[in-house]
């Protein structure tokens, strides 16, 4: 059984809803998901998990949230080489460019990015299904 960490930051709840869906997908696929707010996660917990989903909405100008999420992510990314990782988050104004940048960044850092999921605002049925699918991939 894979222990899956679902680590997220969310200002208005959209990415938080996605985190719960990713966790549901992982649990339904036989894994054990733990949903953790970004401020409660650090590199010391990496060893407790087999796979990781990170969630952050588009903030700034197609960036990650810089006060809480990105400092945590900067710390853990370099220690996740070769590990199964999925990325997800919500956006509104543009077309998801922040996720293209983030996925590229993670791949360049040597992470095994098994998939990404984005939702315009609150996840609709299609985005919800994508989130569950990500969770299932991490639980394999």
Ligand X SMILES: Cc1cc2nc3c(=O)[nH]c(=O)nc-3n(C[C@H](O)[C@H](O)[C@H](O)COP(=O)(O)O)c2cc1C
Interactions with ligand X, residue window 4-23 (CB under 6 A): 10-15
Least distance from ligand X to the Cβ atom of residue 55, Å:
8
Count of residues engaged in binding ligand X, rule: CB under 6 A: 18
If you ran DSSP here, which 8-state letter would residue 96 be given? S
**Taking CB under 6 A as the rule, does residue 30 contact ligand X?**
no
| CA 129 – CA 123 distance, rounded (Å) | 9
Return the range that interacts with ligand X (CB under 6 A); candidates 19-27, 33-41, 60-68, 103-111. Answer: 60-68
Chain mean position to CA 15: 9
> Directed axis angle between helix 125-139 and helix 14-28, to 10°?
50
Structure tokens at 32: 């054990």
What are the φ/ψ torsions at residue 63 (nearest 5 degrees)?
-125, 170
**Taking CB under 6 A as the rule, does residue 24 contact ligand X?**
no
**Taking CB under 6 A as the rule, does residue 126 contact ligand X?**
no
The one among 90, 118, 123, 130 contacting ligand X by CB under 6 A: 90
Least distance from ligand X to the Cβ atom of residue 13, Å:
5
The one among 2, 37, 50, 62 contacting ligand X by CB under 6 A: 62
| Greatest distance between any 2 Cα atoms in the chain | 39
If you ran DSSP here, which 8-state letter would residue 94 be given? S
CA 35, 54, 83, 48 dihedral sign is negative
The one among 43, 60, 66, 78 contacting ligand X by CB under 6 A: 60
**Taking CB under 6 A as the rule, does residue 25 contact ligand X?**
no
Which positions lie near ligand X, rule CB under 6 A? 10-15, 57-62, 90-94, 121
């Amino acid at each position: 059984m894979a222990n899956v960490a679902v680590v997220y930051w969310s200002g208005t709840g959209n990415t938080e809803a996605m985190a719960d869906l990713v966790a549901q997908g992982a649990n339904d696929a036989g894994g054990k998901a733990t949903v953790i707010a970004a401020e409660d996660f650090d590199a010391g917990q990496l060893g407790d998990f087999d796979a990781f989903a990170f969630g952050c909405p588009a903030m700034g100008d197609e960036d990650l949230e810089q006060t809480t999420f990105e400092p945590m992510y900067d710390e853990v990314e370099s220690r996740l080489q070769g590990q199964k990782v999925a990325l997800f988050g919500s956006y509104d104004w543009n077309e998801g460019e922040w996720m293209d940048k983030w996925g590229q960044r993670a791949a360049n850092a040597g992470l095994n990015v098994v998939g990404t999921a984005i939702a315009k605002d609150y996840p609709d049925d299609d985005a919800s299904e994508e989130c569950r699918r990500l969770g299932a991939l991490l639980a394999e």
